[in-house]
């Protein structure tokens, strides 16, 4: 099998690495890729948002399967174009990708499927904002009702901060979504879905705030760990049975059946799981912590979801233990990051088994040196028999990487390791 992966972040680096390690995968090509992915796969340029361009590249590279990583190409219909060209594609149609691209669509599907989620109101003009804010609180959840890579969300107990973010989103030309605050620890459960068939991966937890102790602004994700020692298997089963399967069935009933990875972001409270958001693709950085634990070769898994044979796939096999991914971010991220800094250090060379450095925002400078080229620059993953070992492995390797001005969280997975999370 020859696979073309679309995307350029650490998530795609993790996908490419797992596919390249699969003996049944003869070749992996990634487009547009990044400087780190180039070490594991042929990297070619592409306009990832253009269905025609992706189809052309899939033909040129004789791809049997196209895996679309990010949400934007999916929302724009790249998977439809690939399938229309007769090539298998892991990723939902544009109609199904509305589960992430349109929060109103997602809420409608959840209401019809009887799935618990936050109460929400969309506001599209500044004149309605204050009255709407008055119907929420004491914690306000203010979202950009468009694709904003996680950074469009502000969760705050400060009404002025909520109002300012909402006004900025409206000024940017997007509606604002106000939501009631869901309390309880958050879980990311990624499910392979084809139509009504749902196969969950290991649950993971993202750390969305920039600073230790969940301080600071929201980001695209500063680190993740898997699995979740505090989440009983019955809760994962409930998430599949009460959330993901009903949503998949509702989408099939509406004529937009889902194919690919359906990401359920949830809060777990005393009543059980409630949906914070759905995404139409692998999550970032959770994928970088989940895939190292997957023992089943990835190629056949993605192909089964793409070609409709998911129900016949043998149960997924997982390695025992845990994985932790820590994001190394550029100076000033999540605001406009400084780029062009040289990345160096022994940690970039092949590291000890069970650790990996995945590239997110990197490039080669004119002199061939590795430089930062985005807000989230590198992801360092460690694995181990338990969270403590996995954390130690990740942070030991991260300590051997230099990026001027960089910052990272020091507490990824720490609360779970210390038993401070319960449901």
Residues that bind ligand GLY (CB under 6 A): 150, 206, 221, 279, 283-284, 286
Beta strand 2-7 with 27-32 is parallel
- Taking the least distance from each CB to ligand GLY, the nearer of 70 and 382 is 70
**Beta carbon of residue 278, minimum distance to ligand GLY (angstroms, whole number):** 10
SS3 label, residue 281: coil
**Beta carbon of residue 286, minimum distance to ligand GLY (angstroms, whole number):** 6
Q: How far apart are CA 184 and CA 142, in angstroms?
A: 18
**Beta carbon of residue 224, minimum distance to ligand GLY (angstroms, whole number):** 7
DSSP characters for 121-134?
EEE-SGGGHHHHHH
**Beta carbon of residue 289, minimum distance to ligand GLY (angstroms, whole number):** 11
**Beta carbon of residue 316, minimum distance to ligand GLY (angstroms, whole number):** 20
DSSP characters for 306-361?
HHT-GGGSPPP-B-SSEEEEEEEE-TTTTSS-----B-BSGGGS--STTEEEEESS
243 touches 275 (CB < 8 A): yes
Cα dihedral across residues 279, 199, 324, 345: positive or negative: negative
Q: How far apart are CA 319 and CA 317, in angstroms?
A: 7
- Taking the least distance from each CB to ligand GLY, the nearer of 64 and 286 is 286
Residue nearest to ligand GLY (CB): 283
SS3 label, residue 42: strand
358 touches 324 (CB < 8 A): no
**Beta carbon of residue 149, minimum distance to ligand GLY (angstroms, whole number):** 7
- Taking the least distance from each CB to ligand GLY, the nearer of 83 and 98 is 98
- Taking the least distance from each CB to ligand GLY, the nearer of 133 and 380 is 380
**Beta carbon of residue 125, minimum distance to ligand GLY (angstroms, whole number):** 28
- Among 115, 85, 87, smallest CA distance to 99 is for 115
**Beta carbon of residue 82, minimum distance to ligand GLY (angstroms, whole number):** 22
91 touches 146 (CB < 8 A): no
User: How is residue 248 written in tokens?
Assistant: 């998949």
Number of residues in the chain: 423
**Beta carbon of residue 221, minimum distance to ligand GLY (angstroms, whole number):** 4
Phi and psi at residue 276, in whole multiples of 5°? -85, -45
Radius of gyration over alpha carbons of the chain, in Å?
Answer: 20
212 touches 412 (CB < 8 A): no
DSSP characters for 22-35?
-TT--EEEEEE--T
């Amino acid at each position: 099998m020859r696979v073309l992966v679309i995307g350029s972040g650490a998530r795609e680096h993790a996908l490419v690495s797992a596919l390249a390690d699969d003996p049944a995968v003869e070749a992996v090509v990634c487009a547009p890729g990044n400087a780190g992915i180039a070490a594991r796969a042929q990297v070619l340029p592409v306009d990832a948002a253009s269905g025609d361009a992706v189809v052309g590249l899939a033909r040129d590279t004789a791809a049997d399967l196209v895996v679309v990583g990010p949400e934007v190409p999916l929302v724009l219909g790249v998977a439809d174009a690939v399938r229309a060209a007769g090539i298998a594609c892991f990723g939902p149609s544009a109609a199904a990708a509305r589960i992430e691209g349109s929060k109103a669509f997602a809420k409608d599907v959840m209401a019809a499927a009887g799935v618990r989620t936050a109460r929400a109101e969309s506001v599209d003009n500044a004149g309605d904002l204050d009255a709407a804010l008055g119907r929420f609180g004491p914690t306000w959840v203010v979202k950009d009702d468009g694709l904003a890579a996680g950074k469009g969300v502000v969760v705050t107990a400060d009404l002025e901060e909520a109002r300012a973010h909402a006004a900025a989103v409206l000024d940017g030309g997007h509606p604002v979504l106000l939501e009631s605050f869901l309390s309880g620890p958050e879980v990311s459960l990624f499910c392979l879905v084809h139509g009504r068939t749902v196969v969950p991966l290991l649950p993971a937890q993202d750390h969305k705030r920039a600073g230790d102790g969940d301080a600071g602004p929201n980001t695209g994700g500063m680190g993740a760990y898997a699995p979740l020692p505090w989440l009983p298997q019955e809760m994962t089963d409930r998430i599949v049975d009460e959330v993901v399967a009903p949503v998949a069935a509702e989408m099939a009933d509406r004529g937009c059946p889902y194919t690919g990875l359906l990401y359920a972001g949830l809060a777990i409270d005393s009543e059980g799981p409630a949906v914070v958001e759905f995404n139409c693709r692998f999550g970032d950085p959770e994928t970088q912590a989940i895939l190292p634990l997957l023992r089943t070769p990835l190629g056949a898994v993605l192909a089964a979801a793409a070609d409709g044979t998911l129900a016949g796939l043998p149960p997924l096999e997982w390695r025992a233990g845990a994985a932790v991914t820590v994001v190394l971010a550029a100076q000033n991220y999540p605001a406009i990051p400084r780029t062009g800094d040289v990345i160096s250090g022994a940690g970039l060379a092949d590291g000890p088994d069970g650790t990996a450095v995945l590239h997110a925002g990197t490039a080669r400078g004119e002199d061939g040196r590795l430089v930062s080229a985005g807000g989230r620059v590198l992801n360092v993953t460690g694995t181990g028999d338990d969270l403590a070992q996995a954390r130690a492995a990740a942070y030991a390797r991260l300590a051997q990487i230099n990026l001027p001005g960089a910052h990272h969280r020091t507490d990824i997975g720490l609360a779970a390791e210390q038993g401070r999370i319960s449901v």
